[in-house]
Structure 1
Amino acid sequence: MTTDRHGHLMTDTGAEALAHYEQALDDLLFFRPHVMESTRAALDAAPRSTAVQSLAAYLGVLGTEEKDAAAARDAFAGFRAGLDTGKLTPRERMHLAAATAWLDGDLHGAGNILGELSVAFPRDVLALFAGHQHDFLTGDAQRLRDRIGGALDAWDEADPHQGPLLGMYAFGLEESGHYERAEEVGLAALARHPRDVWGIHGVVHTYEMRGRFADGIRFLDARTDDWSSGTLLTVHNWWHYALFTLETGDTARVLDIYDAALHHDRSAGMAMELLDAAALLWRLYLAEDVRTARWARLADAWERRQDGPHYAFNDAHAVMAYVGAGRLAQAERLVGDREKWLAGQPGVSNRAMTADIGLPVCRALIAYGRQDHATAVDLLLPVRHRLHTFGGSHAQRDAIQRTLVEASLRSGRTDLARTLLSERSRLRPVCPYNWSAKARLEDQLGAPDRAAAARARAAAQSAS
């Protein structure tokens, strides 16, 4: 029986398959597009290997692509048919169970099994990576942090994979509010592997959450060759660059980034890239900068996907695109489709994610597009502290939080707007958006001096 580089036995896996598998894991950790080819090579060399098949299964679900998940489910079911599980190692049986649960739509069950796997086998990098991404997709910040933190003591500093684990840990620390520690750990990861784009991403998030957008731009500029092309995270990191630039008030530069990197004629149309494009344009939409032609092209891209009910977080961003493009009937159809689907999906995690958060958010976005701001407030207010349960990061979900702020301002709910902006500005005192919104609130309250002071503070922060 073959043993991987971390000492785990691998059933039905020869030396050639093992080499491809190890390469695939390395590609996975560093978000290299080549991971699909190296995984295919491992499958060709060892089609009955549970470890390799589990890797392929996880790849089928991590991108939140409905068609990829369906294809992976069929392939994995074919692999499991006639499989003698008695000859598998305990670790392999756990991967088999985790991958099966995830492919069947039970994300939370899969996450629990992967958690048990990492306790029993803390050097199983596949379980750690899949579990970390699971925690991101389900918005579980504490597990995002502790799943990796709980395994790190089992890793030697000399192991080349400890670096990307630190990059993962940095993101978990950031999402849990430990911003300075997250930056420290993320920079330590990059000292080992400068092209660790997930580590770069973790550090960038710390700048976003602390309003250090000028530092974020400088950080990304200094590392342009390490992140700006040729990775599975390239578009997302460009999105972060655009968010920083938006805070400076340079809308022209933001749109240049959008056109060159986020969405254009050569874009692949992947859900995770389209949602970045939607989230950026939506921030402009909230500022009454509609950008009709870009919205139309983005809405076309979402429509071409013909997505069914697979991941509620994606649905919300598709609705953003439809609303931004003025296609409210199309947004309503998506909501109606999801309502019908909810009738009978026991055991599917996306059911609760859709019913509890996804549909209220989608309905609120549609109400906002209809300028029914009071209804948008009524829909978003009950879920604002639970938005994390349908996935994404704090930075991504802020587009929805800002929608609530804007809806409260536009509906005359000044008491609520004051509360929301007090929360935001004390959590993130350096944020031009927060202060410009406060200025508009003070205008509504008839306090021109306070409005002018808030407006001046926003301008000073943008220019810093």
Structure 2
Amino acid sequence: MPLFKDARGLAVTAADPAAVAAIDASIAAFLAFRLDTGDRLKPGLAADPACVFANVLRGYYMMLMGNRTLVPRAAKSLAAAQAAAAGATRREQDHVAALAAWVAGDFAGAIRRWEAILPEHPRDAIALRLANFGHFYLGDAEEMRASFARCLHAWDERVPGYGFMLGAYAFAQEEAGDYAAAERDGRRAVEIHPHDVWATHAVAHVMEMQGRADEGVAWITGLEGNFGECHNFTNHLWWHRALFHWDRGRHDAALALYDRQVRTESTDDSLDIANAASFLWRLENVGVAVGGRWDELAARAAERIDDHMLVFADAHFAMALAAAGKPGEAERFAASCRSFAAAGETESQVMREAGADLVDGILAYRAGDYGRAVDRFLAARPALARIGGSRAQRDVFQQMLALAALRADRLPLARALWSERTRLKPWCGWSWGNFAEVLSAAGEPDAAAGARARAAAIAA
């Protein structure tokens, strides 16, 4: 079988150079989060249906959707790749093995295989970005950063896709707490590719973690005209813009953005559901009435009760089911989570370590059983990062724990948690207001008055 070189000099086994050109075009679109990522691959598969890497790539795209109903389609692509793998390169065979592990539920095994590819092939954009995706959804921020650091010696502006890799590295640095480097590299990546939504998002995360809400709104607003070719990840950018408004107490503006951009249509995409559920919960936490918006989300979540592709998504499905007042479906979902925890998949272990307790805590919180919610959230907290997502995304669960402790009248714990929040997010007036309430209930009027003054000063 002939060998061709791809855009970054990697050998690709194919019967027709058109297959390699389509792979290059599809990877370029994948790095840019473009709507036509899958469409760009189709001509390659038409030209060479047995192309190993094209079939692997199609399987990866199916798995990235995070929907168990698509796993059989990924398995079909895997079978096609396996049938032709004997004549492929070692790198391509390693990708086949990674896809096989992922399809089988061994997400950690897939990550190990991607990482094993990278020392010899640091310009393998798919292995690098998928390893990054895996580390992110298993909550390993340090390895997200380290994985890029081991490979970026082979990348510079002469290598196609360099800017997107720099932007992805920026986000990894932000999650690892290196905000200055993250902002520097994220801004540079956006200079290279103004339509780079992931790099834009990396800088927005820095601003979120530093309380720079007005800058964050201006940053996203100034770039939004570049995102017309991007897929639904733009909804997550709008979520960030709405969250900046929430941070500044502009709750009407935040709710308007929810309707206009965050959740403009009903989709079953797990990130879309997570954006919406976590944002509605935040709005309700500050007393905003969200009306019947939960019903649509709960209907979508009910379709995913036995999905369990990512525990991060499961937690948000639980939020929607509980908030919409569907106790039967919520309990059925909790039971499904406990059953899944006994399975042999990578995410089953995450469910055992944190997910099942987190789901139980969410349901207890919404039922008004705040004492049980506290217990379950505390049980999940040591391993909470393992569910994946960013620190900004997981913060909603920290909010739930702090509010549950206050409402359960567990004043020493509540005081400790709200003290922690005001130290970590001193710009958040909502946190200072709740801290004042705890301090007052704990018989500390002077300290409570000081906290109220801080809240009022921030609101002004």
TM range (shorter): over 0.9
Aligned length in residues: 458
How far 1:251 moved relative to its partner? Answer: 1.4
1:275 aligns with 2:277: no
In the alignment, which residue of structure 2 is the partner of 1:156? 156
Structure 1 segment 297-376 matched on structure 2, within 5 A: 297-305=296-304, 307-343=306-342, 345-346=343-344, 348-376=345-373
Q: How far 1:306 sits from its partner (Å)?
A: 5.3
Aligned equivalent of 1:73: 75
* Cα deviation, residue 290, structure 1: 4.7
**1:201 Cα deviation (Å)?**
0.6
Q: Deviations over 1:389-443 (max 9, x none)?
A: 1111101110111100001111112211222223222233222232122122122
- Residue 389 of structure 2 is aligned to residue 392 of structure 1: yes
Tell me how large the CA RMSD over aligned residues is. Answer: 1.8
Alignment of structure 1 residues 212-231 onto 2, 5 Å: 212-227=212-227, 230-231=230-231
In 2, Cα distance between equivalents of 1:458 and 1:15: 63
Contact 2:32 2:197 in 1 (8 A): yes
Q: Which of 7, 19, 34 does residue 17 from structure 1 map onto?
A: 19
> Counterpart of 1:37?
39
Aligned to 1:198: 198
Shift of 1:451: 2.5
- CA–CA separation in structure 1 for the residues paired with 2:332 and 2:8: 50
Distance 1:134 1:342 in 2: 19
Q: 1:306 to 1:329 in 2, by over 3 A?
A: closer
Q: For 2:361 and 2:96, how far apart are their aligned partners in 1?
A: 39
Partner AA of 2:269 in structure 1: M
1:138 CA drift (Å) = 1.6
The residue type paired with residue 248 of structure 2 is T
CA separation in 1, counterparts of 2:392 and 2:382? 14
**Rounded Cα–Cα distance in structure 2 between residues aligned with 1:452 and 1:48:** 71
8 Å CA contact 1:319–1:331 kept in 2: the answer is yes
When residues 360 and 306 of structure 1 are mapped into structure 2, their CA distance, relative to the original with a 3 A threshold, is closer
Q: What are the ranges of 5 or more consecutive residues in structure 2 without an aligned counterpart? A: none
Please give the secondary structure, in 2, of the residue aligned with 1:119.
coil
Deviations 1:37-64 (A, max 9, x none): 0122222222222221221121111221
Pair 1:462–1:89, CA change in 2 (3 A): farther
Residue identity matched to 1:93: Q
- Cα separation, 2, equivalents of 1:97 and 1:200: 33
Post-superposition shift, 1:165? 0.5
Offset of 1:302 from its aligned partner? 1.9
1:383 maps to which of 376, 380, 383: 380
Query: Is the contact between residue 292 and residue 325 of structure 1 (CA under 8 Å) also seen in structure 2?
Result: no
Q: Equivalent residue for 2:253?
A: 253
Contact 1:290–1:324 (CA under 8 A) maintained in structure 2: no
Shift of 1:145: 0.9
Question: CA contact under 8 A between 2:18 and 2:43: conserved in structure 1?
Answer: no
In structure 1, the partner of 2:428 is 431
Deviation at 1:179, TM superposition (A): 1.0
* 1:51-90 Cα deviation digits (max 9, x unpaired): 212211211112212222332123312442x3352x2211
Verify the 8 A CA contact 1:64 1:272 in the aligned structure 2.
Answer: no
Q: CA deviation at 1:224?
A: 2.1
Give the Å deviation of 1:158.
2.6
Distance 2:321 2:5 in 1: 50
Over the matched positions of the two proteins, sequence identity in percent amounts to 34
**TM-score (norm: length of structure 2):** 0.95
Q: Tell me whether 1:410 sits opposite 2:412 in the alignment.
A: no
Relative to structure 1, the CA distance from residue 336 to residue 373 in structure 2 (aligned partners, 3 Å threshold; closer, same or farther) is same
SS at match of 1:231: coil
* Matches of 2:74 and 2:199, distance apart in 1: 28
Moved more, 66-75 or 210-219: 66-75
* 1:330-369 deviations in Å (ceiling 9; x for gaps): 11110112223444x22x1111112221110110011101
Distance 1:52 1:229, change over 3 A: closer
Once residues 79 and 181 of structure 1 are traced to their aligned partners in structure 2, the CA distance between those partners, rounded to angstroms, is 40
Distance 1:297 1:132 in 2: 32
Provide the C-alpha distance between the structure 1 equivalents of 2:143 and 2:163, rounded to a whole number of angstroms.
19
* Amino acid across the alignment from 2:55: Q
Q: Does 1:165 align with 2:137?
A: no
CA shift in 2, pair 1:84/1:284, >3 Å = closer
Judge conservation of contact 2:322–2:330 (CA < 8 Å) in 1: yes
User: Using the alignment, how far apart are the partners of 2:131 and 2:49 within structure 1?
Assistant: 24
Distance in 2 of aligned mates of 1:143 and 1:233: 23
**8 A Cα contact 2:354 2:379, kept in partner:** no
- Which amino acid letter does the alignment assign opposite residue 53 of structure 1? N
Structure 1 segments, 4+ long, off by >6 Å, are none
**CA distance in structure 2 between the partners assigned to 1:129 and 1:293 by the alignment:** 38
Match of 1:5 in 2: 7
Counterparts of 1:236-251 in structure 2, within 5 Å, are 236-251=236-251
Aligned counterparts of 1:138 and 1:410: Cα–Cα separation in 2 = 31
Contact 2:33 2:230 in 1 (8 A): no
